[in-house]
Every structure is written in structure tokens, then in C-alpha cells.
Amino acid sequence: MTVRVGITGAAGRMGRTLIEAIGQTPGLEVTAALEQSASSLLGADAGELAGLGKIGVTVSSDLAAVIDVIDVLIDFTVPAATVANLALCVTAGKAVVIGTTGFSASQDEEINRAAARIPVCKASNFSTGVNLCFKLLDMAARVLGDDVDIEIVEAHHRHKIDAPSGTALAMGGVVANALGRDLAEVAVYGREGQTGARERETIGFATVRAGDIVGDHTVIFAGDGERVEVTHKASSRMSFARGAVRAAGWLAGREPALYDMQDVLGL
């Protein structure tokens, strides 16, 4: 059975890559493409935007008008738009893959409530490699324990609007959980001036925003005399898109719950 997929932000960089990835994936089909009402690309063929040629799906701004022709919505937009789209999907009983980051605590609660009624897959990063890194980070933190200083450095393109990245925060969460720490209490976001000596239990975050960097993440475990680094570098958005498309195919027909990419990959 073909899984019918809707794409939000279809005219953006990630949206076009998602459409391309679905075009390369047997068993999935783009049946709806959404953009903001002010977009100059409304009415364009979604396939042509992604370089696939015409697929007969025009870009529109009204999710409610096309909700009946999709099984799963993939949403990589901004938090407010994602939450609004999620509400429509709950009403229509449609599954949702969420790649948006930067949600507030109250928005996360809305997502949790929605997942009690529909299947939702939410991940800070849909790359298979990044999700493997989560496993490696858990192992490294448990082995190295409290004998190392931990720093997380991430870099993204100039257009990214949230910092640190959702992936960096997720990495910090994995490490903190492995060490029995509360990330909210031990995270240090940037340093300036006379900061004093570093406290061992803290987890530091450093952010770079420059050029067209797709996404680089490094977690440093630094002890006396040696240093272990776990690094992931993305050179193309296609790595994220393929993971999200894989999640969409996996999510279709699942029971209502909040899933993540670890579930999709069986990790």
C-alpha cells in the first residue's frame, strides 16, 4: 500500500529535499505540498520545485483542504506553525513526523497530548548517523563517567533561528541522563569574561552560525592526558530528509504514541 505524504514548507530548502527523497522511495508518494499564504510559489508543481518534473501536486496554503489526501504529514517549519498543523492532524486522525526544533515547554506539552490521539514521530535530528551518535555518546558517558569535562560544539548555516540546535541539546540530554545529571541544572550556554575555573559536572555548549553549514556537532570528553570526541558532520540535507521519509513510512498505521528516530531505527 502506498503511503500518502504531505510536506509543509514545501518550497523551502528542506521541503524540496523531502519531496526529492520521497520521489526516490518506493511505497511513498507526495500527495500534498504546503506553504505560507504569502509565498510566491503557491500554485507551482511540487515536483518541479524539487527538480523531479511535474508530479501533479500543486503547492497550496490550506492544510485543511488537503488533509483527506494524506496519511502522514512531515513538518519541518517553525514551532507555532507545527503546533497549528498538528491540531488539524489530530482532528483528522493523521500521523505526523516533526522535524521542527525550538519548542517551548508548553508547546512540547501540546505535542505530548496530541500523541495520545495520533502517532507522532518527533526527533531533533532524523539522520541515521546522528542517532547512532546518541548511542555512542551514552556509552562514552557511562565509561568515562565523572573523570572528564564535557563540551558540545555545534555549527549551522546563517539562517538557523534557534540555538543551541535541537540536536546539540538532545546530545547533552543523552550525556546528562547517562551520568545522572539534570541538563537544565548543569548546562552552560556560552562563556564570557572572568568565568572562573570550570566545574566538572557542567556540560558546556558553544554555537557557530555561518555561511551554508548544513550541520556539524562534536561532543568532547576531555580528561587529563587524553580526549575523546564524537563528531557528526552533515554535508547534505538529504541525510535528514531520508531519515524523515523513513520515519513517515514506519509511522503510517502505528498506534497513537510519541515515537522518535531511535524507535524507527530499532535502537
Q: Which long-range contacts (CB under 8 A, 24 or more apart) does 172-177 make?
A: 172/203, 172/205, 174/134, 174/137, 174/138, 174/141, 175/137, 175/138, 175/141, 175/150, 175/203, 175/219, 176/203, 177/138
> Which CATH topology does 3-122+237-265 take?
Rossmann fold (3.40.50)
Opening angle at CA 110, ends 104 and 114, nearest 5: 145
Q: What is the pLDDT along the chain (267 residues), one digit of tens a residue?
A: 899 999 999 999 999 999 999 999 999 999 999 999 999 999 999 999 999 899 999 999 999 999 999 999 999 999 999 999 999 999 999 999 999 988 999 999 999 999 999 999 999 889 999 999 999 999 999 999 999 999 999 999 999 988 999 899 999 999 999 999 999 999 999 899 999 999 999 999 999 999 999 999 999 999 999 999 999 999 988 999 999 999 999 999 999 999 999 899 987
Q: Is residue 217 annotated as part of the catalytic site, yes or no?
A: no
Grid coordinates belonging to 232: 557528526
Architecture, CATH, for domain 128-234: 2-Layer Sandwich (3.30)
- Considering 54, 94, 135, 160, which one is annotated as catalytic? 160
| Distance from C-alpha of 45 to C-alpha of 50, rounded to nearest angstrom | 9
The domain ranges of the chain are 3-122+237-265, 128-234
pLDDT of amino acid 73 = 98
Q: Is residue 156 annotated as part of the catalytic site, yes or no?
A: yes
DSSP 265: H
pLDDT of amino acid 124 = 83
pLDDT of amino acid 147 = 96
Strands 187-189 vs 95-98: parallel, antiparallel or unpaired:
unpaired
pLDDT of amino acid 237 = 87
- Considering 94, 156, 217, 232, which one is annotated as catalytic? 156
Closest by CA to 252, choosing from 121, 84, 130, 66, is 121
pLDDT of amino acid 266 = 87
pLDDT of amino acid 58 = 95
